Protein backbone atom coordinates (compact mmCIF):
# COMPACT_ATOMS: atom_id res chain seq x y z
CA UNK A 1 0.00 0.00 0.00
CA UNK A 2 0.93 3.66 -0.36
CA UNK A 3 3.08 4.82 2.55
CA UNK A 4 2.65 8.37 3.85
CA UNK A 5 5.16 10.12 6.08
CA UNK A 6 3.76 11.72 9.25
CA UNK A 7 5.12 15.11 8.09
CA UNK A 8 3.20 14.74 4.82
CA UNK A 9 0.01 13.95 6.70
CA UNK A 10 0.44 16.99 8.97
CA UNK A 11 1.08 19.27 5.99
CA UNK A 12 -1.99 17.95 4.21
CA UNK A 13 -4.23 18.47 7.25
CA UNK A 14 -2.84 21.97 7.79
CA UNK A 15 -3.59 22.82 4.15
CA UNK A 16 -7.18 21.55 4.46
CA UNK A 17 -7.73 23.59 7.64
CA UNK A 18 -6.17 26.71 6.09
CA UNK A 19 -8.39 26.47 3.00
CA UNK A 20 -11.48 25.93 5.15
CA UNK A 21 -10.93 28.91 7.42
CA UNK A 22 -9.81 31.12 4.52
CA UNK A 23 -13.08 30.35 2.72
CA UNK A 24 -15.05 31.11 5.87
CA UNK A 25 -13.25 34.44 6.24
CA UNK A 26 -13.95 35.42 2.63
CA UNK A 27 -17.63 34.44 2.86
CA UNK A 28 -18.10 36.28 6.14
CA UNK A 29 -16.46 39.47 4.92
CA UNK A 30 -18.96 42.13 3.89
CA UNK A 31 -18.12 43.74 0.54
CA UNK A 32 -16.94 47.31 0.91
CA UNK A 33 -18.04 50.02 -1.50
CA UNK A 34 -19.70 47.67 -3.96
CA UNK A 35 -22.70 49.13 -5.73
CA UNK A 36 -24.90 47.36 -6.49
CA UNK A 37 -24.38 44.72 -3.84
CA UNK A 38 -23.94 41.16 -5.05
CA UNK A 39 -25.64 37.92 -4.12
CA UNK A 40 -23.50 36.90 -1.15
CA UNK A 41 -25.56 35.21 1.56
CA UNK A 42 -22.70 35.82 3.99
CA UNK A 43 -23.06 39.61 3.72
CA UNK A 44 -26.55 40.08 5.24
CA UNK A 45 -28.13 43.53 5.26
CA UNK A 46 -31.42 42.73 7.00
CA UNK A 47 -32.64 40.75 9.99
CA UNK A 48 -33.99 37.69 8.10
CA UNK A 49 -30.84 37.45 5.98
CA UNK A 50 -28.63 37.77 9.07
CA UNK A 51 -30.53 34.99 10.83
CA UNK A 52 -30.08 32.73 7.80
CA UNK A 53 -26.39 33.65 7.43
CA UNK A 54 -25.70 33.00 11.12
CA UNK A 55 -27.41 29.63 10.88
CA UNK A 56 -25.44 28.79 7.72
CA UNK A 57 -22.13 29.63 9.40
CA UNK A 58 -23.12 27.59 12.46
CA UNK A 59 -23.98 24.56 10.29
CA UNK A 60 -20.78 24.97 8.25
CA UNK A 61 -18.66 25.10 11.40
CA UNK A 62 -20.30 21.98 12.85
CA UNK A 63 -20.05 20.02 9.59
CA UNK A 64 -16.51 21.33 9.05
CA UNK A 65 -15.44 20.01 12.45
CA UNK A 66 -17.05 16.66 11.64
CA UNK A 67 -15.20 16.57 8.31
CA UNK A 68 -11.83 17.38 9.90
CA UNK A 69 -12.27 14.80 12.68
CA UNK A 70 -13.42 12.02 10.34
CA UNK A 71 -10.77 12.83 7.74
CA UNK A 72 -8.04 12.96 10.38
CA UNK A 73 -9.11 9.58 11.79
CA UNK A 74 -9.21 8.16 8.27
CA UNK A 75 -5.70 9.40 7.45
CA UNK A 76 -4.42 8.19 10.82
CA UNK A 77 -5.91 4.74 10.21
CA UNK A 78 -4.48 4.53 6.69
CA UNK A 79 -1.00 5.48 7.90
CA UNK A 80 -0.97 3.64 11.23
CA UNK A 81 -2.44 0.37 10.01
CA UNK A 82 -1.08 0.26 6.49
CA UNK A 83 0.03 -3.09 5.13
CA UNK A 84 3.65 -4.10 5.72
CA UNK A 85 5.66 -6.89 4.17
CA UNK A 86 6.34 -8.42 7.58
CA UNK A 87 2.59 -8.71 8.23
CA UNK A 88 1.79 -10.60 5.03
CA UNK A 89 1.65 -14.01 6.72
CA UNK A 90 -0.01 -12.89 9.94
CA UNK A 91 -3.68 -12.57 10.80
CA UNK A 92 -4.58 -9.04 12.00
CA UNK A 93 -5.90 -8.63 15.52
CA UNK A 94 -9.62 -9.36 15.69
CA UNK A 95 -11.80 -6.74 17.40
CA UNK A 96 -15.32 -7.86 18.30
CA UNK A 97 -16.79 -4.52 19.25
CA UNK A 98 -16.85 -1.99 22.05
CA UNK A 99 -20.02 -0.93 23.82
CA UNK A 100 -18.50 2.45 24.68
CA UNK A 101 -17.52 3.17 21.07
CA UNK A 102 -20.89 2.04 19.70
CA UNK A 103 -22.72 4.25 22.20
CA UNK A 104 -20.49 7.17 21.30
CA UNK A 105 -21.03 6.94 17.54
CA UNK A 106 -24.77 6.60 18.10
CA UNK A 107 -25.39 9.23 20.77
CA UNK A 108 -23.06 11.95 19.41
CA UNK A 109 -24.65 12.04 15.90
CA UNK A 110 -28.12 12.10 17.48
CA UNK A 111 -27.12 15.08 19.64
CA UNK A 112 -25.65 16.87 16.62
CA UNK A 113 -28.84 16.34 14.59
CA UNK A 114 -31.01 17.54 17.49
CA UNK A 115 -28.91 20.70 17.91
CA UNK A 116 -29.04 21.47 14.18
CA UNK A 117 -32.79 20.79 14.10
CA UNK A 118 -33.49 23.11 17.04
CA UNK A 119 -31.29 25.87 15.60
CA UNK A 120 -33.05 25.61 12.23
CA UNK A 121 -36.53 25.54 13.79
CA UNK A 122 -35.70 28.64 15.82
CA UNK A 123 -34.67 30.59 12.70
CA UNK A 124 -37.70 29.38 10.72
CA UNK A 125 -40.03 30.53 13.49
CA UNK A 126 -38.32 33.91 13.83
CA UNK A 127 -38.45 34.57 10.07
CA UNK A 128 -41.81 33.09 9.08
CA UNK A 129 -43.87 34.07 12.12
CA UNK A 130 -42.60 37.61 12.59
CA UNK A 131 -45.50 39.99 13.42
CA UNK A 132 -46.24 42.81 10.99
CA UNK A 133 -46.06 46.22 12.72
CA UNK A 134 -48.58 48.95 11.82
CA UNK A 135 -46.05 51.09 9.97
CA UNK A 136 -44.78 48.33 7.67
CA UNK A 137 -44.66 48.87 3.90
CA UNK A 138 -46.86 46.39 2.05
CA UNK A 139 -45.97 45.15 -1.42
CA UNK A 140 -47.62 42.56 -3.64
CA UNK A 141 -45.01 40.88 -5.84
CA UNK A 142 -46.36 38.96 -8.84
CA UNK A 143 -44.11 36.69 -10.87
CA UNK A 144 -44.68 36.54 -14.64
CA UNK A 145 -42.82 34.82 -17.43
CA UNK A 146 -40.29 36.47 -17.33
CA UNK A 147 -40.61 39.66 -15.29
CA UNK A 148 -41.73 40.97 -11.90
CA UNK A 149 -44.75 43.11 -11.11
CA UNK A 150 -44.76 45.11 -7.87
CA UNK A 151 -47.90 46.69 -6.45
CA UNK A 152 -48.04 48.93 -3.38
CA UNK A 153 -51.75 48.72 -2.41
CA UNK A 154 -51.60 51.38 0.31
CA UNK A 155 -49.52 53.78 -1.76
CA UNK A 156 -51.33 53.38 -5.08
CA UNK A 157 -48.15 52.56 -7.00
CA UNK A 158 -47.55 49.91 -9.67
CA UNK A 159 -44.09 49.25 -11.06
CA UNK A 160 -42.05 46.43 -12.54
CA UNK A 161 -38.75 44.61 -12.03
CA UNK A 162 -37.15 47.20 -9.76
CA UNK A 163 -38.44 47.20 -6.20
CA UNK A 164 -38.05 50.30 -4.02
CA UNK A 165 -38.28 49.95 -0.23
CA UNK A 166 -37.24 52.20 2.66
CA UNK A 167 -34.27 51.55 4.90
CA UNK A 168 -35.32 50.36 8.35
CA UNK A 169 -33.84 52.22 11.31
CA UNK A 170 -33.49 49.83 14.28
CA UNK A 171 -34.70 52.64 16.55
CA UNK A 172 -37.79 53.12 14.38
CA UNK A 173 -38.25 49.92 12.32
CA UNK A 174 -39.92 50.18 8.93
CA UNK A 175 -39.92 46.62 7.57
CA UNK A 176 -41.36 45.69 4.19
CA UNK A 177 -43.78 42.77 3.99
CA UNK A 178 -44.34 41.19 0.59
CA UNK A 179 -47.20 38.99 -0.54
CA UNK A 180 -45.88 36.68 -3.24
CA UNK A 181 -48.19 35.60 -6.10
CA UNK A 182 -47.69 33.93 -9.46
CA UNK A 183 -49.51 34.79 -12.68
CA UNK A 184 -48.54 31.60 -14.50
CA UNK A 185 -46.03 29.00 -13.28
CA UNK A 186 -43.75 28.53 -10.27
CA UNK A 187 -41.22 31.29 -9.60
CA UNK A 188 -38.95 32.00 -6.65
CA UNK A 189 -38.19 35.37 -5.05
CA UNK A 190 -34.58 35.52 -3.84
CA UNK A 191 -32.49 38.48 -2.70
CA UNK A 192 -29.67 36.74 -0.81
CA UNK A 193 -28.48 39.78 1.17
CA UNK A 194 -31.98 40.79 2.28
CA UNK A 195 -34.06 37.63 2.72
CA UNK A 196 -34.23 33.91 2.05
CA UNK A 197 -35.60 32.24 -1.06
CA UNK A 198 -39.40 31.94 -1.14
CA UNK A 199 -41.44 30.36 -3.92
CA UNK A 200 -44.31 31.99 -5.81
CA UNK A 201 -46.87 29.26 -6.48
CA UNK A 202 -50.10 29.72 -8.49
CA UNK A 203 -53.17 29.97 -6.23
CA UNK A 204 -51.01 29.70 -3.11
CA UNK A 205 -49.95 33.09 -1.69
CA UNK A 206 -46.67 33.18 0.24
CA UNK A 207 -45.18 35.92 2.37
CA UNK A 208 -41.72 37.29 2.99
CA UNK A 209 -40.36 40.30 4.84
CA UNK A 210 -37.16 42.31 5.08
CA UNK A 211 -35.89 45.25 7.10
CA UNK A 212 -32.79 46.58 5.27
CA UNK A 213 -30.29 48.10 7.69
CA UNK A 214 -28.41 50.15 5.12
CA UNK A 215 -29.34 51.90 1.85
CA UNK A 216 -28.08 50.68 -1.47
CA UNK A 217 -28.96 48.54 -4.46
CA UNK A 218 -29.27 44.79 -3.92
CA UNK A 219 -29.50 42.15 -6.61
CA UNK A 220 -31.49 38.95 -6.80
CA UNK A 221 -33.31 36.77 -9.28
CA UNK A 222 -35.88 34.09 -9.80
CA UNK A 223 -34.43 30.95 -8.22
CA UNK A 224 -36.96 28.46 -9.61
CA UNK A 225 -36.74 27.28 -13.22
CA UNK A 226 -39.79 28.83 -14.88
CA UNK A 227 -39.02 28.60 -18.59
CA UNK A 228 -36.42 29.43 -21.20
CA UNK A 229 -35.71 32.92 -19.83
CA UNK A 230 -35.56 31.92 -16.17
CA UNK A 231 -31.88 32.96 -15.94
CA UNK A 232 -32.71 36.51 -17.08
CA UNK A 233 -35.63 37.05 -14.72
CA UNK A 234 -33.57 39.32 -12.49
CA UNK A 235 -34.40 41.45 -9.47
CA UNK A 236 -33.11 44.88 -8.52
CA UNK A 237 -34.00 46.22 -5.07
CA UNK A 238 -33.30 49.86 -4.23
CA UNK A 239 -33.19 50.49 -0.50
CA UNK A 240 -33.83 54.23 -0.13
CA UNK A 241 -33.64 56.66 2.73
CA UNK A 242 -37.10 57.63 4.07
CA UNK A 243 -36.96 60.95 2.20
CA UNK A 244 -35.85 59.34 -1.08
CA UNK A 245 -38.49 56.62 -0.78
CA UNK A 246 -41.22 59.22 -0.18
CA UNK A 247 -40.04 61.22 -3.20
CA UNK A 248 -39.96 58.06 -5.32
CA UNK A 249 -43.50 56.90 -4.57
CA UNK A 250 -44.92 60.44 -4.91
CA UNK A 251 -43.36 60.55 -8.37
CA UNK A 252 -44.67 57.10 -9.27
CA UNK A 253 -48.23 58.13 -8.39
CA UNK A 254 -48.22 60.84 -11.04
CA UNK A 255 -49.77 60.16 -14.47
CA UNK A 256 -47.56 59.80 -17.50
CA UNK A 257 -45.90 62.94 -18.82
CA UNK A 258 -47.89 64.57 -21.63
CA UNK A 259 -45.40 65.93 -24.15
CA UNK A 260 -46.82 67.32 -27.39
CA UNK A 261 -43.47 66.92 -29.14
CA UNK A 262 -43.81 63.11 -29.05
CA UNK A 263 -47.51 62.92 -29.96
CA UNK A 264 -46.63 60.87 -33.04
CA UNK A 265 -44.94 58.22 -30.90
CA UNK A 266 -47.89 58.09 -28.55
CA UNK A 267 -50.26 57.66 -31.49
CA UNK A 268 -48.14 54.78 -32.86
CA UNK A 269 -48.03 53.19 -29.38
CA UNK A 270 -51.82 53.40 -28.95
CA UNK A 271 -52.61 52.24 -32.48
CA UNK A 272 -50.56 49.03 -32.22
CA UNK A 273 -50.72 45.98 -29.97
CA UNK A 274 -48.48 47.70 -27.38
CA UNK A 275 -51.48 49.03 -25.47
CA UNK A 276 -53.03 45.57 -25.26
CA UNK A 277 -50.17 44.33 -23.06
CA UNK A 278 -48.88 47.47 -21.32
CA UNK A 279 -50.44 50.20 -19.20
CA UNK A 280 -49.59 53.90 -19.25
CA UNK A 281 -51.52 55.97 -16.73
CA UNK A 282 -53.45 58.84 -18.33
CA UNK A 283 -53.74 57.10 -21.71
CA UNK A 284 -55.97 54.45 -23.26
CA UNK A 285 -53.29 51.82 -22.64
CA UNK A 286 -54.45 49.58 -19.80
CA UNK A 287 -52.90 46.18 -20.56
CA UNK A 288 -51.85 43.79 -17.81
CA UNK A 289 -49.84 41.15 -19.68
CA UNK A 290 -46.63 43.21 -19.64
CA UNK A 291 -44.99 45.71 -17.29
CA UNK A 292 -46.60 49.06 -16.52
CA UNK A 293 -44.71 51.68 -18.58
CA UNK A 294 -46.01 54.86 -16.93
CA UNK A 295 -42.59 55.65 -15.47
CA UNK A 296 -40.44 53.39 -17.62
CA UNK A 297 -37.45 55.75 -17.77
CA UNK A 298 -37.23 55.97 -13.99
CA UNK A 299 -35.89 52.40 -14.06
CA UNK A 300 -32.22 51.57 -14.51
CA UNK A 301 -32.83 48.42 -16.56
CA UNK A 302 -35.29 46.96 -19.05
CA UNK A 303 -36.34 43.37 -19.80
CA UNK A 304 -36.24 42.44 -16.10
CA UNK A 305 -32.61 43.42 -15.73
CA UNK A 306 -31.40 41.87 -18.99
CA UNK A 307 -30.19 45.21 -20.38
CA UNK A 308 -29.40 48.73 -19.23
CA UNK A 309 -32.21 51.20 -19.89
CA UNK A 310 -30.68 53.27 -22.69
CA UNK A 311 -32.36 54.60 -25.86
CA UNK A 312 -30.29 52.19 -27.96
CA UNK A 313 -31.26 49.15 -25.92
CA UNK A 314 -34.87 50.29 -25.73
CA UNK A 315 -35.00 50.60 -29.53
CA UNK A 316 -33.49 47.13 -29.96
CA UNK A 317 -35.88 45.69 -27.35
CA UNK A 318 -38.95 47.01 -29.20
CA UNK A 319 -37.57 46.05 -32.60
CA UNK A 320 -36.43 42.51 -31.72
CA UNK A 321 -36.86 41.33 -28.09
CA UNK A 322 -35.08 38.06 -28.86
CA UNK A 323 -31.89 39.99 -29.55
CA UNK A 324 -31.74 40.85 -25.82
CA UNK A 325 -33.78 38.05 -24.28
CA UNK A 326 -34.16 34.95 -26.48
CA UNK A 327 -37.41 33.19 -25.72
CA UNK A 328 -39.08 36.33 -24.40
CA UNK A 329 -42.87 36.34 -24.68
CA UNK A 330 -42.86 39.91 -25.99
CA UNK A 331 -43.43 39.85 -29.78
CA UNK A 332 -41.38 41.85 -32.27
CA UNK A 333 -43.60 44.76 -33.33
CA UNK A 334 -42.15 45.00 -36.87
CA UNK A 335 -42.51 48.78 -36.97
CA UNK A 336 -41.05 50.93 -39.70
CA UNK A 337 -37.88 52.82 -38.79
CA UNK A 338 -39.77 56.12 -38.51
CA UNK A 339 -42.48 54.62 -36.29
CA UNK A 340 -39.85 52.84 -34.19
CA UNK A 341 -37.94 56.08 -33.64
CA UNK A 342 -41.17 57.87 -32.73
CA UNK A 343 -42.15 55.20 -30.16
CA UNK A 344 -38.68 55.27 -28.58
CA UNK A 345 -38.86 59.06 -28.33
CA UNK A 346 -42.25 58.74 -26.65
CA UNK A 347 -40.95 56.09 -24.25
CA UNK A 348 -38.06 58.39 -23.27
CA UNK A 349 -40.57 60.91 -21.88
CA UNK A 350 -42.17 58.36 -19.53
CA UNK A 351 -40.29 59.30 -16.39
Question: Which tens digits make up the pLDDT trace of 167-225?
Answer: 998 888 999 999 999 999 999 999 999 999 999 999 999 999 999 999 999 999 999 99
Q: With 70 as the cut, is the pLDDT of residue 9 above it?
A: no
Confidence band of 27 (pLDDT split at 50, 70, 90): very low
What is the residue-averaged pLDDT of the chain?
A: 87
Say what the pLDDT of residue 32 is: 44
Of the ranges 22-26, 171-175, 248-252, 278-282, which one carries the lowest mean pLDDT score?
22-26
Cβ atoms of 132 and 219 within 8 Å: the answer is no
Say what the pLDDT of residue 256 is: 85
Of the ranges 79-83, 127-131, 220-224, 240-244, which one carries the lowest mean pLDDT score?
79-83
Q: Find the largest Cα–Cα distance for the chain.
A: 101
Q: With 80 as the cut, is the pLDDT of residue 38 above it?
A: no
Task: List Cβ neighbours of 44 (8 Å cut-off, separation of 6 or more).
Answer: 50, 52, 53, 193, 194
Q: Quick one: average pLDDT of 145-164?
A: 95
How far does CA 157 lie from the centroid of its chain?
23
Q: With 50 as the cut, is the pLDDT of residue 73 above it?
A: yes
Confidence band of 99 (pLDDT split at 50, 70, 90): confident
Burial of 197 (0-12, 13-18, 19+ CB in 10 A): middle
- pLDDT per residue as tens digits for the range 314-337: 999 999 999 999 988 898 888 899
Q: Quick one: average pLDDT of 32-55?
A: 82
- From the list 68, 79, 57, 115, the residue with the least C-alpha distance to 3 is 79
Burial of 334 (0-12, 13-18, 19+ CB in 10 A): exposed
Length of the chain: 351
Say what the pLDDT of residue 52 is: 94
Say what the pLDDT of residue 1 is: 40
Confidence band of 275 (pLDDT split at 50, 70, 90): confident
How far does CA 100 lie from the centroid of its chain?
47
Say what the pLDDT of residue 80 is: 85
Between 24 and 348, the higher pLDDT residue: 348
Of the ranges 1-15, 21-35, 39-53, which one carries the lowest mean pLDDT score?
21-35
Cβ atoms of 297 and 348 within 8 Å: the answer is yes
Question: What's the Cα-to-Cα distance from 25 to each of 58, 59, 192, 273, 349, rounded to whole Å?
Answer: 14, 15, 18, 53, 47
Say what the pLDDT of residue 33 is: 39
Confidence band of 21 (pLDDT split at 50, 70, 90): low
Q: With 60 as the cut, is the pLDDT of residue 35 above it?
A: no
Instruction: Give 140's DSSP letter.
Output: E
Q: With 80 as the cut, is the pLDDT of residue 104 above it?
A: yes
DSSP-based three-state secondary structure for 213: coil
Cβ atoms of 219 and 40 within 8 Å: the answer is no
Instruction: Give 257's DSSP letter.
Output: P
Percent of the chain exceeding pLDDT 70 equals: 89
Spatial distance between the Cα atoms of 216 and 327, rounded to a whole number of angstroms? 31
Say what the pLDDT of residue 49 is: 94
Amino acid sequence: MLKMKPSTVRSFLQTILLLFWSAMAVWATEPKGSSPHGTNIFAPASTPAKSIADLSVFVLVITGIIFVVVFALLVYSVVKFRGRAMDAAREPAQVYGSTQIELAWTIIPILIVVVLFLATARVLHAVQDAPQPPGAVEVTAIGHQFWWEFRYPKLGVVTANELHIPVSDPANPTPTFLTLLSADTDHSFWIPELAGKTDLIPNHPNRIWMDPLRPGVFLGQCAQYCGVQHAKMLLRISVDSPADFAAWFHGQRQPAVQDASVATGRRVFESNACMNCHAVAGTNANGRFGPDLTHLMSRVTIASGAATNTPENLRLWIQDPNAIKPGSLMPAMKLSDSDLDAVVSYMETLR
